[in-house]
Structure 1
């Protein structure tokens, strides 16, 4: 096993941990139907996958990059 294999295993472990955490979170508020930053509609699939979501994908991405 080389460094690339170990890095791949670690990346998979982190992704699995992230997904496990996401599925156990209880939203503190209901999902918004429209993004609180830009006002665009948040797709139903996103609202189902991310309980309590308040931002559209684009606004969430911008927020995470800041």
Structure 2
């Protein structure tokens, strides 16, 4: 009996994982995540890796922080 429950749980997990992957693949790319919100230049990959929530390039972020 336990084998049926285990198999059902595995199948449900596989279906959920596939559905989530399919959903993610269908989402449009968000250009704002790659480009600086101030100057529009691409945010360097190293900055995005170090600070995934960055919305500005280093120069614009520094300027933004000075004006605060």
TM-score by length of 2: 0.50
User: 1:48 deviation in Å?
Assistant: 0.4
Aligned to 2:35: 34
Give the match for residue 66 of structure 2: 65
- Indicate the SS of the match to 1:60: helix
Backbone CA RMSD of aligned residues = 1.4
1:14-53 aligned at under 5 Å gives the runs 32-53=33-54
SS at 1:37 equivalent: coil
Note the residue ranges of structure 1 that are not aligned, 5 or more in a row. Answer: 1-30
**Number of aligned residues:** 36
Structure-1-length-normalised TM-score: 0.51
- What per-residue deviation string (whole Å, max 9, x for no partner) do you get for residues 4-41 of structure 1? xxxxxxxxxxxxxxxxxxxxxxxxxxx81100110001
> Higher helix proportion, which one?
2
Corresponding residue for 1:54? 55
> Which protein is bigger by CA-based radius of gyration?
2
Instruction: For CA contacts below 8 A with separation 6 or more, give which structure has more relative contact order.
Output: 1
